[in-house]
Homo-oligomer: A and B are copies of this chain.
Amino acid sequence: MAPTNTSRRGAVRPVDKFDQRRDELAESALTTLGAMGYARASLREIANNSTFSHGVVHYYFQDKLELVIYSVRYYKARCVTRYDSVVSDSTTADDLVDAFAAKLTETIREEAPMHRLWYDLRTQSMFEDQLRGAVTEIDHTLQDMIWRVVSRYAELDGRPVSVDPVVAYGMLDGLFQQALLGYLSGHPTALDSLAVRVRKVMPLLLA
């Protein structure tokens, strides 16, 4: 039997061997989910991309959904700090916009599968109630992340922001999604276009 499930580890053992295995599985799950999408990524395929066999998933997770949610949370937790350096290192408003645009395009180039997985899950949450909680929570942390950038930008520019955090996030997320789709479709200028558009749009957010 697995350690009692919701309350982690029932044993005295090295504190988080259990959590460590969960993270290991999450890593493999992310690879597979990012490659195939939520619907097509089977537990067997996920296990194939790990050092374990397919049965082990139910030892560490109650079901597929718990694994998926755990994995995405695991990933997004690392990523909400992605633009912190943009906020802390920029000394002028223009610098900040450039650094922000550069980071946006960089993360598409380097982690496109993870981003499409995120959009996949967010869209699936429109159909499956069970996903909604985790999605909403992650969406908020992303919104906060964007808001830190935008409000720092306003600070450096000396003008107040003219939109609320929701609008700022919604607009930029729309552009990001567009660029991601273009990039995955093999459109070569998608990333450069995104950078240009972000530079164009950011000033519109200030009063």
Residues of chain A whose beta carbon lies under 8 Å from any beta carbon of chain B:
36-40, 116, 119-120, 122-127, 132, 136, 139, 162-163, 166-167, 169-175, 177-178, 180-181, 184-185, 193, 197, 200-201, 204-205
- A120-B126 in contact (CB<8A): yes
- B175-A136 in contact (CB<8A): no
CA A191 – CA B106 in complex, angstroms? 34
- A171-B166 in contact (CB<8A): no
CA A200 – CA B167 in complex, angstroms? 9
Contacts of A126 in B (CB 8 A): 37, 116, 119-120, 180-181, 184
- A40-B170 in contact (CB<8A): no
Q: Min CB distance, A147 to chain B, in Å? A: 14
Instruction: Report copies per complex.
Output: 2
Interface centre among A126, A139, A169, A200 (most CB of B within 10 A): A126
Q: Min CB distance, A96 to chain B, in Å? A: 19
Q: Min CB distance, A32 to chain B, in Å? A: 12
CA A166 – CA B194 in complex, angstroms? 10
Q: Min CB distance, A205 to chain B, in Å? A: 8
Residue of B nearest to A118 (CB): B123
User: Which of B127, B172, B180, B197 touches A174 (beta carbons < 8 Å)?
Assistant: B172
Contacts of A169 in B (CB 8 A): 178
Residue of B nearest to A185 (CB): B132
Contacts of A172 in B (CB 8 A): 174
CA A130 – CA B175 in complex, angstroms? 23
CA A167 – CA B172 in complex, angstroms? 10
Contacts of A166 in B (CB 8 A): 178, 193, 197
User: Which of B170, B178, B197 touches A178 (beta carbons < 8 Å)?
Assistant: B170
Residue of B nearest to A112 (CB): B126
Residue of B nearest to A115 (CB): B126
